[in-house]
Amino acid sequence: MASTSAPAPITPHGRAKLIALGRATKPIREASGMARFMFWTGVGITLFFVALAIFAPLLSRYNFTQYASGGHRFPQLGHPSSAHWMGTTVQSSDVMSRVVYGAQTELEVVAIALAMSLSVGVPLGLISGYFGGILDRALVLLMDALFAFPYLLIAIVIAFVLATSSIGGGILTAAIAITAAYVPLYFRVVRNHVISVREEPYVDAARALGARPRTVIRKYVFFNVVQNVPPIATLNAADAILLLASLGFLGYGIQPSQGAEWGYDVSRAVSDAASGIWWTGLFPGLAIVLLVTGLTLLGEGLNETLNPVLRQRRFGRFEFDEREPREEALLDQ
């Protein structure tokens, strides 16, 4: 257990928290085979992009809007070279800087969007599932209606409406657009799970103990429902990257002045590709593929380690005792 490796002076409460943490991470530590490989590869790739995002100012020599340095304008559509490792675009900006700063934009938007959709979708799902009744019906109807639209369409509409308002076409707009697309998913997953957990005897027991609905939901329902959320959230993050890139590609995402965004860069590079200029599209495209792959591996790995249906336990090789068959034969007589 985790408590054994903990520093010496800890309160009972602190110890309980440590034990809880050790218990929560146990399946991950015990994961094996494919699940373990997927999980840790995903962690590696994702951490690489997180590092890119955090250290972007140190890692790239130029800013993402920069088109000149030391009085010299960068070449237009310049080949990858020692000065510009990934070449330059038609507007003379450095492709590598845009890719590196792009990681910052993507992760910021996805983090904000996930935080917002979790903090809306999960509580709504908990309340709707636990109390049921008219509220539940109304919310399910609304969420199903939202669900029926393609994600991208909702995101475009929201992005379009917000971009024309005072908020403008920045990171927050893109995050809100993505949030609107994902809230129904969290709502559905959490609500349906709550409905099954609600019938568990320990929930009845909590009611019989005199716990208020708020306490029952927080202490008895939430922790037994929330374990589904990390894999979904991670897989969703991968999806959200694609959604943000699609918005950018269509011109509804982050405005070029607000931040570097891979989808936008790819859309600008479409015409270049025809004339044999591969570097403007390849590197942002590769970044999208890599980050999405990383997050998907992380999510699938989490899913396989946390989901008891998919989880495979490690079993030692079972050795038959060589004498056994003979003894069995004797018993048969």
Partner 1 sequence: MRPEAVAPQPEQHADEEPLVSIRNLETYYSIRGNFADRLVGREAGVVRAVDGVSLDIRRGEVLGLVGESGSGKTTLGRTLLGLVQATGGSVEFEGREITGLPERKFRELRRRIQVVFQDPHASLNPAMTIAQAVGHPLQIHGVEHDRTQLRARVADVLERVGLAPAEAYLDKYPSDLSGGQKQRAVIARALILNPVLLVADEPVSMLDMSVRAKILELMVALKQDFELTYLYITHDLATARFFCDRIAIMYLGRIVEIGPAEAIYADPKHPYTQALLRAIPEPDPTRAVPRDLPRGEVPDAASPPLGCPFHPRCPRAFEPCGWESRDLRDLLEFRWARLAGEPRVEEEQAVVGDLDVLDKPAPEVRLPAARGRKPEEVVALLERIRAEDPQEPFWKGVARLEASGSHVALDFHLPQEPRLEPVGDVSVSCHLYDSAASG
Q: Which residues bind partner 1 (CB under 8 A)?
A: 3, 11-13, 15-16, 19-20, 23, 200-202, 204-212, 215, 219-220, 223-224
Q: Which is nearer to partner 1, 16 or 90 (CB)?
A: 16
Local structure of 84: helix, strand or coil:
coil
Q: Which is nearer to partner 1, 13 or 317 (CB)?
A: 13
Cα–Cα distance, 143 to 192 (Å, whole number): 13
Instruction: Give the DSSP letter string of 172-220.
Output: HHHHHHHHHHHHHHHHHHHHHHHHHHHTSHHHHHHHHHT--HHHIIIII
Closest contact distance (angstroms) between CB of 83 and partner 1 is 56
Q: Which is nearer to partner 1, 136 or 300 (CB)?
A: 136
Q: Which is nearer to partner 1, 144 or 204 (CB)?
A: 204
Closest contact distance (angstroms) between CB of 175 and partner 1 is 31
Q: Which is nearer to partner 1, 212 or 326 (CB)?
A: 212
Cα–Cα distance, 252 to 307 (Å, whole number): 37
Closest contact distance (angstroms) between CB of 213 and partner 1 is 9
Closest contact distance (angstroms) between CB of 243 and partner 1 is 33
Cα–Cα distance, 233 to 300 (Å, whole number): 11
Cα–Cα distance, 269 to 164 (Å, whole number): 26
Closest contact distance (angstroms) between CB of 237 and partner 1 is 25
The pair of three-digit structure tokens given for residue 264, joined into one six-digit string: 């936008």
Q: What are phi and psi of 258, to 5 degrees?
A: -85, -25
Helix axes 151-164, 171-198, angle to 10 degrees: 140
Q: Which is nearer to partner 1, 24 or 235 (CB)?
A: 24
Closest contact distance (angstroms) between CB of 186 and partner 1 is 19
**Maximum distance among all alpha carbons in the chain?**
99
Q: Which is nearer to partner 1, 24 or 250 (CB)?
A: 24
Closest CA to 225 of 251, 204, 199: 199
Token look-up 């969703």 returns: 236
Q: Where are the alpha helices (DSSP H) in the chain?
A: 12-30, 33-54, 56-59, 95-131, 133-148, 151-164, 171-198, 201-209, 213-215, 222-225, 229-250, 262-274, 279-306, 324-332
Q: Which is nearer to partner 1, 210 or 276 (CB)?
A: 210
Q: Which helix (H) or strand (E) holds 73?
A: strand 72-73
Closest contact distance (angstroms) between CB of 132 and partner 1 is 13
Closest contact distance (angstroms) between CB of 329 and partner 1 is 33
Q: Which is nearer to partner 1, 227 or 255 (CB)?
A: 227
Closest contact distance (angstroms) between CB of 231 and partner 1 is 18
Cα–Cα distance, 83 to 19 (Å, whole number): 52
Contact status, residue 175 vs residue 109, Cβ threshold 8 Å: yes
